[in-house]
Structure 1
């Protein structure tokens, strides 16, 4: 299969993940770029941030008119992660890649387990006709919880070259008790800002060049996929979205752990 076709197919999957689930694009993009398109881990991380930035901006534009984005919460999350993202981006090139990959896989698996538990609770609530948490009660985590979670997400983005949406969504659900649809939309604000900060830092510190033959078709297909992903999100229940997100995280975690061990 040619590089162009592979990049188009991988980009479409990444875009659907970002548009429909509010995250997971970078998580899928990095292994695809390394194992399917032959990039080095450093190049894959930087290229992934370009892809995630473009697709997240597209997905955010789609969500902007729906009233589901908590702009203030997203901005606070992102602001808390700026400095950690910069510091982690500098350190990323000094830490062995197998260590980073293993840490990411474990973290993704833990997040998936938390999402599956949340999906089970939300599914029972939806079947019983109970309303999802919203309004003031949805923010019980408070500013300190928001800042702590945002700082952690920024560090993950800088270290791994991913947008952080795969952690932002469960953090917004579990820490701030946002309803799933609001968490998905709000996470895009966090992902976009963290990705831009980490990308600028990586390009400035490491001077890594990007291959336009790879990232241009990847980005183009991902942008189109993000629009379809938004329509997918509108058709699924909150519990179904959580289960889909958890399955995605578990699959990626297993794939990356196998890659480290082999």
Structure 2
């Protein structure tokens, strides 16, 4: 299963490189089910893997002129604040055992995986749906962009997900960016969010296996290189429905596994 996990890690970078998101939503299931890592620790690992992979993609998109720094900062600053509050204050106060129903224990790990599965299913619908023609406005709505950034920060903080599937639409509608620039800018935001979240975890978690993180990140990095090069030739919008169906199946699988096995 571990060998399959390393192979699956390539898909993390491939998705980030092609469509600017989606990779982080695969990281948690890969870590929990293929590498048998505790869900809470997996959220920390996910932040590192996704963040470092997104950073590598930023350089390529910068050279292609696809980064919009101002939009990224308006989104990332409130998002970082939300991440720190969630990870360093709220999530620490959630007990490992929440409650019991007829001898069925609802734990923090169970809650994380179920919410993550619901998030995956929700994200899959937006990926499967046919892309609509974007009506772009002349000005960027920075205040709405900042508000959505704060919301994405909550998701990133609790689940260790980069939130690219939410960042991309926000950049399209509120920052008035073309798709390719939304992808590049999304990677920068994902890196900032993930890096801050992981650095915050270093103060409360001393059991991090850096060799393991380096090995998984290197596989994701390979996928990022492939995805970024393919993005020059393939329209990411055409790949989103396929990836969406895959995410939908994965989300349903997680719910079934957590509830019945």
TM over 0.5: yes
- Alignment CA distance shift 1:243-1:174 (3 Å): farther
Secondary structure of 2:184's counterpart equals helix
Q: CA deviation at 1:89?
A: 0.9
Contact 2:124–2:248, Cα closer than 8 Å, also in 1: yes
Aligned match of 2:114 in 102, 118, 123?
Answer: 102
Q: Can you give the 5+ residue segments of structure 2 that lack an aligned partner in the other structure?
A: 95-107
Structure 2 counterpart of 1:126: none
- Alignment CA distance shift 1:118-1:249 (3 Å): same
Structure 1 counterpart of 2:180: 181
Deviations 1:76-135 (A, max 9, x none): 11011111000111223444233333333323333332344452x24xxxxxxxxx666x
Structure 2 counterpart of 1:159: 158
Deviations 1:228-257 (A, max 9, x none): 011222222253144245334423422332
In angstroms, what is the RMSD of aligned CA positions?
A: 2.3
Matches within 5 A, 1:1-262: 1=1, 3=2, 5-90=3-88, 91-95=90-94, 96-117=108-129, 119=131, 121-122=132-133, 137=138, 139=140, 142-204=141-203, 206-262=204-260
How high is the TM-score relative to the length of structure 2?
Answer: 0.84
Secondary structure of 2:138's counterpart equals helix
Alignment: residue pair count = 246
Q: Can you give the 5+ residue segments of structure 1 that lack an aligned partner in the other structure?
A: 123-131
Structure with bigger helix share is 1
Contact 2:142–2:175, Cα closer than 8 Å, also in 1: no
Contact 2:38–2:109, Cα closer than 8 Å, also in 1: no
Q: CA deviation at 1:203?
A: 1.8
